[in-house]
Structure formats: C-alpha cells, structure tokens
Structure 1
Amino acid sequence: MSIGVRELRDGLSRHLAHVRAGHTVTVTDHGVPVARIVPVDVPSALERLIADGRVTPAKQPKRPSGRRLKTAGTVSDLVAEQRR
C-alpha cells in the first residue's frame, strides 16, 4: 500500500491498524517513496540474512575513522597531486 504524507497524517490511526494487521505502508512525498512503515515483528533483510547464516554480524563495533587532515586545497587537488 502506498500513501501520501497528507493522507498518512489525516488517517494515521487507520493506517497504523493496517500495519498492525501485518501489512507494509510506503509513504510518498509528491509521488516519490520516502519511508516505509513495517510491522515490528517482521525481521529486516539483514536480520533474515543473519538468521539464514548468509551474513555474519561484526564482532566489534565500527572503529572511528582516522584523524582529519587539514589541507589547503580540494579533494580533487589532492588526487591530482598524488597522480603526478
């Protein structure tokens, strides 16, 4: 089921009842899909892949990225300099 933002706002209780019944609601903004409301008990794609044994979750949380470099030029300038 696909609905616009205004329709969702005007009939929120009705649409949430639809989700409680196990259906998925796609919310659109000017016809462009922007969100999906799914029942809580439906596993996500990642959860299904983990349950099937096709994906192994990370053992450690993502490490923070390295320190930021201060440069005077743009990224394009830095790439061009590295290619010389």
Structure 2
Amino acid sequence: MDIGIRELRDGLSRHLAQVREGHTITVTDHGKPIARIIPVEGPTRLQQLVAEGHVRPPLRHKRPAPPPIKTEGIVSDLIGDQRR
C-alpha cells in the first residue's frame, strides 16, 4: 500500500496498526517511493526471496579469512614500494 508523507503523519497510529497486522507500507514523496515500513516479526527480504525460489542459500559456508600479515611501516609506504 502506498501512502504519502502527509497521510502517514496524519494517520500514523492507524497505519502502524496495519503494519502490526502484517501489511507493508510504502511511503512516497510526490508519488516517488522513499521508504518502506514492514513488520518486525516478518521474514527478511532474503528469506522471502529464498521462499519464493528467486535465490538459493549457499551450499557451503565461507572459509574464514586468513590471519593478518605482520609488517612494519605504514600501508601507503608498502604500496609505494610495491609500485616501484
């Protein structure tokens, strides 16, 4: 449901009650969508896309990042040395 800013402000309690019931409200400014108000308990957008079959979860988890490399000096000096 699309609602302008003024209408949202004037009937905020009523519109928030609709959100509590599970509805999503798109807030518009001069007819252009600028924000969405969604129920907190609802699934995330990613969960919705997975449920709709548009995306699928990864088959395996990401590998952990390698340990940081210990160096001396500042990064800009190291980059400068590599570019020479």
Q: Which residue of 1 aligns with 2:25?
A: 25
Q: 1:46-65 maps to which residues of 2 (within 5 A)?
A: 46-48=46-48, 49=50, 54-56=56-58, 59=62
Q: Which residue of 2 aligns with 1:7?
A: 7
Q: 1:64-83 maps to which residues of 2 (within 5 A)?
A: none
Structure having the higher Rg = 2
* C-alpha deviation, 1:34, in angstroms: 0.7
- 1:39-69, Cα deviation, whole Å (9 max, x unpaired): 111112213439x89223x7569xxxxx78x
Structure 1 residues not aligned, in runs of 5+: 62-66, 69-84
TM-score of the aligned structures, taking structure 1 as reference length: 0.58
Please provide the CA RMSD for this pair.
Answer: 3.0
CA distance in 2, matches of 1:37, 1:13: 13
Aligned length: 62
CA distance in 2, matches of 1:47, 1:18: 22
Q: Counterpart amino acid of 2:57?
A: V
TM-score of the aligned structures, taking structure 2 as reference length: 0.58
